[in-house]
Amino acid sequence: MSSATSTSSRTPLAIGAGVLVAALLLGFASYTATRPDSAPSGRASSVADVSAEPQAGTYPELEKLARRDAKDPLAAGRADAPVVMVEYADFQCGYCGKFARDTEPQLVKKYVDAGVLRIEWRNFPIFGEASEAAARAAWAAGQQGRFWQFHAAAYAEGAKEKGFGQDRLRALAREAGVRDLDRFARDADSDAARKAVAKDQQEGYGLGATSTPSFLVNGRPIAGAQPMETFTEAIEAAARTAKQGS
């Protein structure tokens, strides 16, 4: 998992004591996932491993962060899906890329396509100007309905090594099928893009997230690019809980 190198713009969210608990859990998960004496099996610990109880480690305050906006171009899946996974990630983060290539497609096929899961992306640029430029570009691609295609291009193997300069971002937009590249450039440099990225960033820092990727699954924090099994357990537990409450 990749950690932030800057401490700016970290304003806590005023949404209750659950935020503090989540911050502690995310910090613990960040530590256990990267410490040298991790689990003998090689599997990184995660918040989702703390308990097998369906509602353990879940916080109603955090569940409310799911926006469920049917018109959100940075989301995939039904707005009324029983489970929402909020993902905080940076396009320069190698672990985010690994999750995007190896795990996320499986989650889409198994849960999003079945109507069980909705994935809501939050731009969480923590590695400086290039990360912020990539975040704004991703948002701009979303304004033309090509966010997830841009996401795939930016996280392709070897993509981040080519950098995220202006020409490179335009090339990624072209690869993603963005039709109006001039509009893309204007949107990426707009106040609206900056405000949207700042909103997501403040939300992530307010949760105490200092590394990427970080996730909330129906209010249950998970830190790091965990194995598929970790997400499967969290999603299915959340789905059972949602079914019982319906």
For the stretch 222-236, pLDDT in tens is 999 999 999 999 999
Helix (H) or strand (E) run with residue 105 in it: helix 104-107
A 10 A CB-CB count for 21 gives 16
What are 240's two structure tokens?
């059972």
| CB of 195 closer than 8 Å to CB of 66 | no
| CB of 215 closer than 8 Å to CB of 227 | no
Question: Does pLDDT of 195 surpass 60?
Answer: yes
CA 90 – CA 112 distance, rounded (Å): 22
Please tell me which residue, 209 or 45, carries the higher pLDDT value: 209
Pairing of strands 83-89, 214-217: antiparallel
Pairing of strands 211-212, 2-3: antiparallel
CA 151 – CA 154 distance, rounded (Å): 5
| HEC secondary structure over 1-25 | CEECCCCCCCCCCCCCHHHHHHHHH
Mean pLDDT, the chain, rounded, equals 85
Question: Structure pTM?
Answer: 0.83
Question: Does pLDDT of 82 surpass 50?
Answer: yes
